[in-house]
Structure 1
Amino acid sequence: MTATTEVLRAHAEDQHASELAALAANDDRPRPPNWRMSPWAVVTYVLGGEAGDGTPITPKYLGGRRLVEVAVATLATDRALLLLGVPGTAKTWLSEHLAAAVSGDSTQLVQGTSGTSEESIRYGWNYARLLSEGPSRRALVASPVLRAMEGGGIARIEELTRIPSDVQDALITVLSEKTLPIPELDDEVQARGGFNVIATANDRDRGVNDLSAALKRRFNVVVLPLPEDVESEVEIVRLRVGQLGAALRLPAELEAVEEIRRVVTVFRELREGVTADGRTKIKSPSGTLSTAEAISVMTSGMALAAHFGDGVVRAADVAAGLQGAVVKDPVADRLVWQEYLEAVVRERRPWADLYRACRELG
């Protein structure tokens, strides 16, 4: 049996290895200790542009340049970076690409949940080795944070506010002293130059486990906003859907960008509680209807068009995904969706096909 070398989703540093190499090779600006490239080159990698040898750099994040510059500058200081925002604002996406550009490794990752233990942030033990050899560095199981400290790299912590408060506070010494004590061995690990932490948090989940005042002081907070206007969001969705379609080898095509624009318009109107022209107030559903969900709806539509249609994404292909994204609560959200269909979608003549497709779903 032959093992395949293909993966469904490559890490950022692997997927964009040629761009990272071109930027690093032609970067003569000052670099912080152990950084693969200068802060200026990191921003170019994230926002897109051109390397010194003319290699085109594709944009990874479509947003304000100053916001990205603040995030990158933070990583060059002794403060950690906290990316804050509602679901779907590309917090995880940005943190991965920042880590890939700065340290060449985005895999030092702690996924925060209510069950995340202190060992996930500090260290654990290989108990078979511990019993046979006693406490030693060979028996110690390093956490992603500890490995990043030893290698002078970036550690990523996803959904920090979902981690229990007492576990969160295990970061305080790491972030303030840049040291991780190992009292069982009467030893410690001191961070090498280049070490830092990028954490993400959903600001709608602040009530789950608020950060302590001591921990907040160790972070510089950068708030990632939703796209400012329809065209910006359409472009984000278009780029990501194209990338995902290619990665999944979906032989489907979008009919210009009009189908994306309709999905984005629906999401924005339901999010904001008012139609684009400001004339009609509408109810908002319980979900966030983020840009990430719009990408998911369009990708699902591409799969339907590719495998059960003529290869061109149309209203019938996105209707099911659209309804599924909006109706999270089968009672309250269904009423919101039905009212929106009748009061808004039905009245837009160019949207007649979308209205029919949604109604046929029941």
Structure 2
Amino acid sequence: MKQDRENGFPGKYTFSSLIIIGSVIIVLIITIMGIVYFQNKLHATGLSKDNLYSSYDKHYAFITDNVDQDFWNEVYSGAFDKGKSQNIYVERFGKYLFEDYNKNEILRMAINGGVDGIIFEGDADPETEELINSAVNKGIPVITVLKDSSRSLRQCYVGINSYNLGQEYGKQLLKMKDKDIKRVFVLVDEKNEDSSKNIILLAIRETIEKELGKDHGLDIEAVVVDNENAFSSEEAIRDIIMDSENVPDVMICMNATYTQCAYQSVVDHNKVGEINILGYYDSDNILNAIKKGIIYSTISVDTKQMGNLCVTALEEFELTGHVSEYLPVDTKMITPDNVKEYIREE
């Protein structure tokens, strides 16, 4: 052994020491990575170092479906910022649970958790209405957002005026007169059984009839699309496009997921120019598709204002015991003429 060391060969103790040092370095690296990951998670949930240990006056739950995440992230951001300015913590309730729970299961958790208020993407499901009523009866005010549960005891609905939305889509159809369109499909959510889709259809038809008369020759119909997840929506929209006997000239998409799926399917199946898309939301992909002429136009919703109004409604109800039953959110139409104003610089 002595001879080995004198010849420059490491002994067994030196080799063991290298293994120990290497192991310690690996553990340190893993620990640091874990800390960074945890801090990123805290930041994603809004629990930064500055507010992790803060004491909030109130705790609101923000609950939506798992579809249209980009859209809902922006709405949540508006709600979170508004809440923070008033020392209220708005939590994206259930987002970081290890298991997937549906919207109503998360709503039930929020009620059992005794939150001070709930911001909820409504629907016409009787179970949803029952849960909302349960929350209100326990003294937890509920604001529905984007989609309403009008037959429930919710305090306020924050969203878009369905008739105005239909009128805007109708005006866009009138601008397509030179495209010789005959068949128009309005893609609607199968879960949305309230009156909003009927109001939108009515507004589209009345806008067309006011300009062209009752014999306008347009076949405008609602087509129900599975909105359980992006894949099911994509499959349903692809089937619509591939049905050669009933292919539409125009598809009016009532949410961001439908718009993205329609745009992708039209490109994938070489239907650009044959099928016109009236979209919803203003993601980068949608704006670029308008610039390229793949999407005709899209409705842009003020998502920050939407989130802000939800918190404002809860606060107003808390302070006065009353709040307006409906708070409208601003929208704007983005077309090829003005799309450059909205495309974000990379």
Greater RCO (CA < 8 Å, at least 6 residues apart): 2
What TM-score do you get using the length of structure 2 for normalisation? 0.29
